[in-house]
Amino acid sequence: MERITDEQAIREFQKNGWGNTVFTCPDGAKATVAPCCYGENSLEGCEYFLIYWDMPWGGESTIEGLVNTLNRHEALAKEQEELENQIHQFFDEHEASGWNDESWSFYSDWHKDIFGYRPHARVCGEYVKPY
């Protein structure tokens, strides 16, 4: 699949009235991008682009940054997978050897960075309703 260009992205947003727009990344992954426009619905009026996809994070403040991120999905997904493997290993090691306040605090922060939420139980990478 071809790389997305800045011009293509702008055209897609224009066709969609600067609403949520689905893009297909070069590796075939789908990403829904929500332009955060204030004032006028245009490139000049957009202050941020939120990306909703198969990773728990995503967003850029410029069209160039957005397009670069969408085009790098495959590499970013591999990095995400590596981080998930690392945190699972960290979790398993501490489950075996024990936790202290410092290691759990570090783990909780890291878990939020990787999965988008803090652990609500002694789990790794699975969401547990806190209430």
State pLDDT tens for residues 84-103: 999 999 999 999 999 999 99
Concatenating the DSSP letter of every residue in 35-64 gives EEE-SSSSTTTEEEEEEESSSS--EESSHH
pLDDT at 57: 84
Q: What is the mean pLDDT of residues 16-27?
A: 96
Residue 83 to residue 114: CA distance in whole angstroms: 7
pLDDT at 56: 87
Q: Is the pLDDT of residue 131 over 80?
A: no
pLDDT at 11: 97
Residue 63 to residue 43: CA distance in whole angstroms: 8
pLDDT at 97: 96
Do 3 and 25 contact (CB within 8 A), yes or no?
Answer: no
Q: Is the pLDDT of residue 82 over 90?
A: yes
Q: What is the mean pLDDT of residues 60-76?
A: 98
Question: Which of 3-7, 38-42, 49-53 has the lowest average pLDDT?
Answer: 38-42
Q: Is the pLDDT of residue 48 over 90?
A: yes
Residue 40 to residue 22: CA distance in whole angstroms: 21
Q: What is the mean pLDDT of residues 32-47?
A: 92
